[in-house]
Structure formats: C-alpha cells, structure tokens
C-alpha cells in the first residue's frame, strides 16, 4: 500500500524517495529498529504493555550493579525516541532516575521498554493542526509512586518552566481510586 502511494506521488509530482527520515527540524531521528539492534534486542519477544501494573522502582532495589555507562547509553537512546514515541516518555523518565547506580531490576525495565518498541514498530501517531494548546491531564494515581522521595511532578509547572504557560485551569481526568479518596477525606477539602 505504501509503495503504491509512493509510486503514484512520484508519478504525479516531481519528487524522490530518499528513504527513512534521519533528521526532522534539525533533530536527529533515531528509528526504533536501530536502537533495538544497538542493544541486541532485535530478536526479543515483543510485548504490548510498557510496565506491569503496580511495579515500583527504587534506588534500593536488590540485584547486581549494572555498568552505568551502558545503562546511560540505553537511556539516552530511549530519550531520543520519546520525540517520536511519546507513549514511552513516562517509563523512560522513570528509569532515568537510576542512571548513576543502575541495578538489574532497572535494566530489566529498560529492556521491557525495548520489547514494547519491538511490538509497536508499525504503530504511528497523527498530530492534527490546532490552535488549542490547553493542557488536559490523565492521571492514574499511584499515591506518590516514587518510593525513594515520595515526590510527584506537576506537568503544569514543567510546561511553565519551558515557557508554555496556560491561563485556563487544567482539566484533569483521574482514576476512581483518587476521586473516592478525595471525596471521603475531609482534610482534602480545607
């Protein structure tokens, strides 16, 4: 289908097929299959989910130490992919917290991201043109999921730091667990 489309475009317009995109707006675009090959995961078993529900990572996780240079290289490669795969952004951010002293559990999570990418090589995103730049949040609350410092990050503050301030309130869709806890606990209503 794609080859037919390219052939009809080349026939209709003066153009050339130059292969896979390498740069977009000055940003190097790494293709998922290149990163899979770089880390020896091209023959890995593909999966459909990034991280198992309820799994937590900590700097105190048990396991053997992993070469931090190798782990940093893996995380950096995954960070490149977040520009074209925003679906892995949260998980890549999660594992990047452990770049200084990675353990086997952290490496397994990084490899799970690679296996997810292997299973989604044919998936894509469509970004329609819009002037609506309002932030809408979706939250599956895990009650301070960072087991090391119990902190969470507010996306609105991150965007403000990046120079994208939003004047209107942020619409947030949350899971039932958080909504029920907020409704039942009067401390939250003060």
Which is higher by pLDDT, 144 or 104?
104
Query: Whole-prediction pTM value?
Result: 0.60
Would you say how long the chain is, in residues? 190
Structural contact between residues 171 and 134, judged by C-beta atoms closer than 8 angstroms: yes
pLDDT tens-digit series, residues 15-43:
777 776 666 555 555 678 888 889 999 89
Q: What percent of the chain has pLDDT over 70?
A: 61
Stretch among 44-48, 64-68, 147-151 having the lowest mean pLDDT: 147-151
Mean pLDDT along residues 124-141: 64
DSSP alpha helices (H): ranges in the chain? 2-12, 32-38, 68-81, 89-96, 104-119, 155-161, 176-184
First-to-final CA distance of the chain: 59
Of 91, 117, 111, nearest to 40 by C-alpha is 111
């Amino acid at each position: 289908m794609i080859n037919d489309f390219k052939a009809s475009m080349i026939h209709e317009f003066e153009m050339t097929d130059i292969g896979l995109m390498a740069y977009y707006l000055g940003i190097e675009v790494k293709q998922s299959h290149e990163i899979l090959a770089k880390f020896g995961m091209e023959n890995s078993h593909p999966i459909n989910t990034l991280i198992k529900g309820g799994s937590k990572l900590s700097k105190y996780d048990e396991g053997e130490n992993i070469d931090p240079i190798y782990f940093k290289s893996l995380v950096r490669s995954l960070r490149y992919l977040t520009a074209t795969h925003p679906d892995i952004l949260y998980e890549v951010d999660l594992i990047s917290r452990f770049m200084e002293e990675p353990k086997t559990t952290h490496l397994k999570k990084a490899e799970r991201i690679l296996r997810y990418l292997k299973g989604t090589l044919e998936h894509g995103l469509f970004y329609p043109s819009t002037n609506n730049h309002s932030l809408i949040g979706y939250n599956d609350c895990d009650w301070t999921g960072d087991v090391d410092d119990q902190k969470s990050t507010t996306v609105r503050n991150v965007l403000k730091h990046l120079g994208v301030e939003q004047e209107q309130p942020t619409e947030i869709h949350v899971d039932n667990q958080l909504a029920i806890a907020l409704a039942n606990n009067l401390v939250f209503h003060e």
